């Protein structure tokens, strides 16, 4: 199988979860991607990566938009040759601009395509390829996207960490210490990073903060109980060790749910089609999260919300149960099964 995924970790990590499920079933997997998150994540997971030169289509800069389209066209030629050499029995499009040229080349070579959509709206690449795909696997139910072409599988995530005692020991957490986990994706979330460092100075609980690459060098931990890091890999133990999470509301909501963590979600306000707000409201409506719009995020308000939740163990436990109820632990295997069915 060939998996086309790249750009952000939000596209690559789910694709790797499917790749692992395929590998467990004895399937050989090769990735096609660009030069961003996939450049490091895919080889680190033990999969070969063939690189193509692509970029997202800018909605604000006409020159960059034209350049992106030209690169995509050239990438189709490169992908045609790649697929001719690799001879895959099926192709998985993991969403994002990397999947476009691979999907077009696969269609021209009459190779079956399966698509995954991690967000609460169908992205541009998936909208264009959906009409030729054997199946489109959705993280969320979407209006007008019905069976048999569309199937709600949930978003594939890595297997969750399960040993809470070991996870807490990894972060030097005592049995009776409360712990807040703050994160915002591989690049980080500037508004959350800045609010958290100010909000939790001198907090009476421990804080683990994965700030991401963009802001890490400019941030300083405000006290000895504040564990500030650029990345945390693997991430599952950090989720399991925590009692409450503060995060954006991208595809990581499924990782939060897979670990049964209650959350305070601050959706990224400029996400395409405002899908992060839809993701956050999905968790909120189940009772698993509290939502703070980015424009309303302040250090004082964030601290007050965290202290209120951490001070109410009964509500926190209810939110944790609600979060766990949203998990889709078989998503990766279900998507792997769709790929294998498409290849027959």
**Assigned token pair, 193:** 């990073």
At a CB cut-off of 8 Å and minimum separation 6, what does 225 contact? Answer: 203, 205, 206, 207
Specify whether 100 is located in the same domain as 191: no
Q: How far apart are CA 105 and CA 85, in angstroms?
A: 13
| 237 plus 272 within the same structural domain | yes
The rounded distance, in Å, linking the Cα atoms of 137 and 33 is: 20
Instruction: List the CATH number of the domain containing 85.
Output: 3.40.50.2000
Instruction: List the chain pLDDT tens, one digit each, 344 residues.
Output: 999 998 777 788 899 999 999 999 999 999 998 878 888 889 999 999 999 987 777 777 888 878 878 888 888 999 999 999 999 999 999 877 889 999 999 999 999 999 999 888 888 889 999 999 999 999 998 888 999 999 999 999 989 999 999 999 999 999 899 999 999 876 679 999 999 999 999 999 999 999 998 899 999 999 999 999 998 988 999 999 999 999 999 888 999 999 999 999 999 998 878 889 999 999 999 999 999 999 999 999 999 999 999 999 999 999 999 999 999 999 999 999 999 999 98
Structure tokens at 35: 């030069």
Q: Which residues, listed in sequence order, are joined to residue 180 by a DSSP beta bridge?
A: 207, 244
Residues 119 and 219 grouped into a single domain? no
Range of the domain at 68: 2-157+329-342
Structure tokens at 210: 């994965």
Please name which of 69, 38, 41 lies closest in space to residue 54, comparing C-alpha atoms.
Answer: 69
Minimal CA–CA distance to 131: which of 109, 115, 111, 142? 115
Domain count, the chain: 2
Exposure of 107 by Cβ count < 10 A (0-12 exposed, 13-18 middle, 19+ buried)? middle
Non-local (6+) Cβ contacts of 55 within 8 A are 34, 64, 67, 68, 71, 97
26: exposed, middle or buried (Cβ count in 10 Å: 0-12, 13-18, 19+)? exposed
- What are phi and psi for residue 169, nearest 5 degrees? -65, -35
Q: Both 61 and 192 in a single domain?
A: no
- CB burial of residue 225 (10 Å; 0-12, 13-18, 19+): middle
pTM equals 0.86
Angle at 205 between CA 194 and CA 163, to 5 degrees: 105
User: Do 9 and 41 reside in the same domain of the chain?
Assistant: yes
Query: Which residues neighbour 163 within 8 Å (Cβ) at sequence distance 6 or greater?
Result: 240
Note whether 215 and 107 are same-domain residues: no
* 77 & 171 share domain: no
Shared-domain flag, residues 67 and 203: no
Do residue 14 and residue 56 come from a single domain?
Answer: yes
Q: Nearest 5 degrees, angle CA 66-CA 69-CA 74? A: 125
Same domain, 191 and 242: yes
Its sign, for the CA torsion 98, 103, 109, 113, is: positive
Q: DSSP class of residue 273?
A: G
Same domain, yes or no, for 301 and 205?
yes
Residues 6 and 153 both lie in one domain: yes
């Amino acid at each position: 199988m060939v998996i086309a995924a790249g750009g952000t970790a939000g596209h690559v990590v789910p694709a790797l979860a499917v790749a692992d499920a395929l590998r467990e079933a004895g399937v050989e997997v090769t990735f096609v991607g660009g030069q961003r998150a996939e450049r490091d994540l895919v080889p680190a997971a033990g999969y070969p990566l063939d690189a193509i030169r692509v970029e997202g289509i800018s909605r604000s800069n006409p020159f960059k938009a034209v350049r992106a389209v030209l690169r995509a066209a050239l990438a189709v030629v490169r992908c045609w040759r790649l697929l001719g050499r690799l001879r895959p029995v099926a192709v998985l499009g993991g969403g994002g601009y990397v999947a476009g040229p691979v999907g077009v080349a696969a269609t021209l070579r009459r190779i079956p395509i399966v698509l995954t959509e991690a967000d609460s709206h169908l992205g541009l690449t998936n909208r264009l390829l959906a009409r030729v795909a054997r199946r489109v696997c959705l993280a969320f139910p979407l209006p007008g996207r019905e069976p048999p072409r569309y199937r709600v599988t949930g978003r594939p995530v890595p297997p969750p960490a399960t040993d809470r005692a070991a996870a807490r020991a990894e972060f030097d957490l005592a049995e009776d210490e409360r712990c807040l986990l703050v994160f915002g994706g591989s690049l980080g979330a500037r508004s959350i990073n800045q609010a958290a460092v100010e909000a939790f100075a001198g907090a009476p609980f421990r804080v683990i903060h994965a700030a991401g690459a963009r802001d890490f060098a400019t941030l300083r931990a405000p006290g000895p109980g504040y564990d500030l890091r650029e990345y945390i890999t693997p991430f599952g133990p950090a989720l399991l060790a925590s009692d409450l999470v503060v995060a954006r509301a991208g595809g990581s909501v499924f990782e939060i749910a897979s670990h049964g963590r209650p959350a305070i979600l601050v959706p990224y306000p400029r996400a395409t089609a405002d899908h992060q707000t839809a993701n956050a409201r999905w968790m909120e409506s189940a009772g698993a999260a509290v939502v703070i719009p980015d424009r309303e995020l302040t250090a004082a308000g964030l601290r007050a919300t965290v202290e209120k939740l951490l001070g109410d163990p009964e509500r926190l436990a209810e939110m944790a149960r609600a979060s766990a109820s949203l998990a889709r632990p078989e998503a990766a295997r279900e998507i792997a099964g769709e790929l294998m069915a498409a290849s027959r």
